[in-house]
Amino acid sequence: MIKLNCIFIFLLLTTLSFNSFSATNYYKCVTPEGTTFSQFPCDNNATVYKVNTTINQQVGPKVDYTKQLNELERESLLAGLQAELRSNQHKLAILDRKKDQADYKQQQRLNHILAKEDKKRIAADIAKKQKVISKNYKAQINMVKKRINKLQKKIDNYQ
């Protein structure tokens, strides 16, 4: 019984110390079964005790994480821009390969055994088609290069 009372007092004092009250009352009652402690009076003979607690609020240092968050956002934007730049550079390489393939196909047309008149006619047709291919290629390349330049400027601004 005494062990239970000691445990109760310990728990009572522990819980009271976490409360924000500056003073708390508890009651001690002596009965034929033994001494008990309670938050509430057990009878008219209960003795009132007061527990004074101090409020110690421990507060850590106030830290402003704005700079770190801005840096993380900048790094994220930079990584996205660099990925888009790589993507556009790959597009340039693909366009180069496609143009080379189209030119090669046109040149292969002349390698067939043909009469002189047919070769001249096909050579003229090939020249026209290669001009169209080059014109389309240049337009696509210029568009991708402009995008690369814009991305490079944005990347330079973030670094």
pLDDT tens, residue by residue, 36-90:
888 888 777 788 888 776 666 677 778 888 888 888 988 998 999 999 999 999 9
Mean pLDDT for the chain? 79
| DSSP code per residue over the chain | -HHHHHHHHHHHHHHHHHSS-SEEEEEEEEETTEEEEESS--STTPEEEEEE-------PPP---HHHHHHHHHHHHHHHHHHHHHHHHHHHHHHHHHHHHHHHHHHHHHTS---HHHHHHHHHHHHHHHHHHHHHHHHHHHHHHHHHHHHHHHHHHH-
If one counts every other C-beta atom within 10 angstroms of the C-beta of residue 135, the result is: 10
> What's the alpha-carbon Rg for the chain, to the nearest Å?
44
If one counts every other C-beta atom within 10 angstroms of the C-beta of residue 37, the result is: 20
Query: Average pLDDT for residues 124-152, to the nearest whole number?
Result: 89
What distance lies between CA 69 and its chain's CA centroid?
10
pLDDT of residue 125: 86
Q: Specify the pTM.
A: 0.47
**Do residues 53 and 24 lie in contact, with contact meaning Cβ atoms separated by under 8 Å?**
yes
Query: Average pLDDT for residues 109-121, to the nearest whole number?
Result: 72
pLDDT of residue 90: 93
pLDDT of residue 9: 58
pLDDT of residue 61: 79
pLDDT of residue 17: 47
**Do residues 69 and 34 lie in contact, with contact meaning Cβ atoms separated by under 8 Å?**
no
Q: Which two tokens stand for residue 28?
A: 């001690």
Q: Above 50 in pLDDT, residue 6? A: no
CA pair distance 5, 11, nearest whole angstrom: 10
Query: Average pLDDT for residues 95-112, to the nearest whole number?
Result: 83
Q: Above 90 in pLDDT, residue 22? A: no
